[in-house]
Amino acid sequence: MTEKKNRMKTWKKLCLFSVSIICLLGVSIVLFYKVTNYTGRKAWERYVQECEEQNRTAVSDTERRYLWLKEIHLSPVDESQNFANYPLFRTVSRLENENDNNIGNEELKPWKEVLEPNGVVGYAGKADFHRSRRADYKKFITTERNPEPSLEENVSPYKQRKKSLAIMEEQSKELKEYLDTHTQEEIAQLMLERLEPGLSAYQDIQNALEKYPQCHYPLQYEKGFMIGTLHLHVLQKIAAFGYTKAYANLALDRSDEAVKDILFVMKLADTLSANPHMIYVAVKRGIYEEVLCVIWEGIESNAWTKNDLKQIQEHLAKTDLYMDILSGTIGERAILNEHFFKDPRFLLNEDPDLSFKEDLLNKIWVNHWSIKDILDSYYVRNWIKNCIPLGWNYRALLEYNKAMDCLLSCFDVENNSLDMNIFPRLNSKLCDAPYYWKINKVPQVATEYFEGLVICGSCQVSMQGDCKIQSCVNMAQISCALERFYLENEKYPDSLDELGELLPKEKLPRDWIDGKAPRMRLTDTGYILWCNGWNFKDDGGTRDTRIVQLLSEPQGDWVWEIAR
């Protein structure tokens, strides 16, 4: 009896001890979350107070820290002069609010032949100033537009896809035969015929932009970072219509028509500067990159007249991607901060939930996965993500904002340049986010869940792309002046200082990176202009010829070469 009582006492002690341990563990976990969340939130609030204090004592806008959308002051726009009120964009804006981003929507039918011309007008051998490759208009693709293959009943997707590929292959053969038996001028004429049904709507858009020079596209910031996809897609389509038409007119020696389209497309891209959003900067940069190819082709083929070159040069002189990327970076940061406070777990990546609808055992058998891999891929990662304290989210947001402070400090607005001394210590953090970030008081293993921090890296990538295209815009501007000099003197100047009134020395565009004007070297067949690339050094006009150009391993200069 005594032995039985002793065993009961022992069990009671063990149970009491176990309960005590569980309670202690529970209290410790609750305390950990409470303290972590409190200290993380307080660290962020202290940073906000520091920013507010700095803003109160700032002597200029460049010293301010813009954390919220309400602090970003957009220039007022006279709605009666707003190009965004053109019927096409009013319709697009309404469709976007209804979450309808289909460019083939019936309501866009009046502009269909601009957005989807009669014929897939692309080009396999377009001018490419990056590689100094001449355009071959015989390589332009001008096939009839095919409707999307209809879904046939009782026919597998594989067979439908195979049928579509067979049709495309047959068309490619017909196209090759056509291109081999027609001249460049005939190909260009066919391109214009393909564009003909859309010319009326295209000219109406051109006239609207001339009539309504101001622009502010209404944005729904609360919808996320990739907003406004339809109206940006529409802008890209209109621009493509314009520079494709310019290519064709250049081939037919109609430079007066080509220059009108080039100037219109550049003005169209410039309307994107009104909104502080990184995706707007990227779309504008992409449009300008295509325009530069057309300008380069016109110079390379001696197609532009002195007046054409003057008009292009004057517009390029006003192009400033520097301020676009600055406002885009500020806007991106403010949008992320706003989203964080609507959903504090916004920075965490989204993993698919574990679904029991699938046959997991079959999945394991087919893919030779282990149970551990299955759980790691689905359930465990989501479970860990949901267990991350909110305090760590606040600290991740704080780390992001400090990195953006550092990135924005690179901008020297007064001299329109970048402080390259800051980039070496930013490179590893911004390019490798979020996997190798070190967030204060957050375990390293948790940082990979903060996918939102990748946005820091995207800002730097955008900056690198804008630096390159702005440098090429500067060199294209100088190239126009060099060609005007050549048309007047039948030779090129020995140095840029000799351009005189065509481009005075004090108005020579300066490089963002080293603050110097592009360098020039005459060649037997023309000339080479170049600026320092992202390795921040002068490589004497040597290009990066790698097919895949890694931003983390930059090489060579940014080059504009004319070699007839």
* pLDDT tens across the length of the chain (564 residues): 566 666 666 777 778 878 888 888 888 888 989 999 999 999 999 999 999 999 988 887 777 888 988 888 777 788 889 998 999 999 988 888 787 778 888 899 999 999 987 666 666 667 788 777 666 666 666 665 544 444 455 555 556 666 766 776 776 677 677 777 888 888 888 889 889 999 999 999 999 999 998 888 877 655 555 555 788 899 999 999 999 999 999 989 999 999 999 999 999 999 998 888 888 888 999 999 999 999 999 999 999 999 999 999 999 999 988 888 888 888 888 888 888 888 887 777 554 333 333 444 444 444 444 554 554 555 556 666 778 899 998 998 898 888 888 888 888 877 777 777 766 656 555 555 555 567 888 887 777 777 666 655 566 667 778 888 999 999 999 999 999 999 999 999 999 999 999 999 889 998 887 788 899 999 998 999 999 888 878 888 888 766 555 555 777 888 999 987
Contact between 283 and 232 under an 8 Å Cβ cutoff? The reply is yes
Phi/psi region, residue 104 (left: phi>0; alpha: psi -120 to 50; beta: rest), is: alpha
Q: What CA–CA distance (Å, rounded) separates 225 from 277? A: 8
Residue 522, strand partner residues: 527
Closest Cα partner for 552 from 453, 454, 428, 437?
428
Q: What CA–CA distance (Å, rounded) separates 213 from 7? A: 91
Q: What CA–CA distance (Å, rounded) separates 220 from 230? A: 13
Alpha helices in 343-453 (DSSP H): 360-367, 371-377, 379-387, 390-408, 423-432
DSSP string, 443-478: -GGGGGG-GGGHHHHHHHHHHHHHHHHHHHHHHHHH
Contact between 328 and 278 under an 8 Å Cβ cutoff? The reply is yes
Q: What CA–CA distance (Å, rounded) separates 486 from 479? A: 10
Identity of the amino acid at 538 = D
Q: What CA–CA distance (Å, rounded) separates 413 from 292? A: 25
Angle, to 10 degrees, between the axis of helix 390-408 and the axis of helix 454-489? 20
Q: What CA–CA distance (Å, rounded) separates 481 from 93? A: 41
- Tokens for 419, please give them: 């402080």
Residue 333, CA distances (Å) to 139, 225, 276, 277, 408 in order: 43, 10, 10, 9, 11
Q: What CA–CA distance (Å, rounded) separates 469 from 292? A: 9
DSSP string, 74-120: PPP--GGGBGGGSHHHHHHHHHHHTT---TT-GGGGGGHHHHS-SSE
Determine the distance from the C-alpha atom of residue 230 to the mean position of all C-alpha atoms in its chain, rounded to a whole number.
15
> Which residue bears the tokens 């009108």?
260
Position 529 scores a pLDDT of 95
Contact between 297 and 249 under an 8 Å Cβ cutoff? The reply is no
CA angle, corner 339, sides to 336 and 345, nearest 5?
100
- Tokens for 284, please give them: 């504008």
Contact between 311 and 489 under an 8 Å Cβ cutoff? The reply is no
Determine the distance from the C-alpha atom of residue 557 to the mean position of all C-alpha atoms in its chain, rounded to a whole number.
22
Contact between 257 and 275 under an 8 Å Cβ cutoff? The reply is no
Contact between 132 and 563 under an 8 Å Cβ cutoff? The reply is yes
Backbone angles phi, psi at 336, to 5 degrees: -65, -45
In sequence order, what are the residues at sequence separation of 6 or more whose Cβ sits closer than 8 angstroms to the Cβ of residue 403?
Answer: 426, 429, 430, 456
Q: What CA–CA distance (Å, rounded) separates 550 from 431? A: 11
> Which 3 state secondary structure label does DSSP give 545?
coil
> Which 3 state secondary structure label does DSSP give 194?
helix
Other beta carbons less than 10 A from residue 212's beta carbon? 19
Q: Taking the model in full, what pTM does it have? A: 0.84
What is the number of helices (H) and of strands (E) in the chain?
17, 7
Q: What CA–CA distance (Å, rounded) separates 475 from 534? A: 16
Contact between 68 and 334 under an 8 Å Cβ cutoff? The reply is yes
Residue 133, strand partner residues: 128
Position 464 scores a pLDDT of 78
In sequence order, what are the residues at sequence separation of 6 or more whose Cβ sits closer than 8 angstroms to the Cβ of residue 109?
Answer: none
Dihedral (CA of 543, 547, 549, 555) sign: negative
Q: What CA–CA distance (Å, rounded) separates 372 from 477? A: 60
Contact between 468 and 288 under an 8 Å Cβ cutoff? The reply is no
Contact between 410 and 308 under an 8 Å Cβ cutoff? The reply is no
Residue 272, CA distances (Å) to 158, 219, 277, 415 in order: 41, 12, 9, 24
Position 501 scores a pLDDT of 93
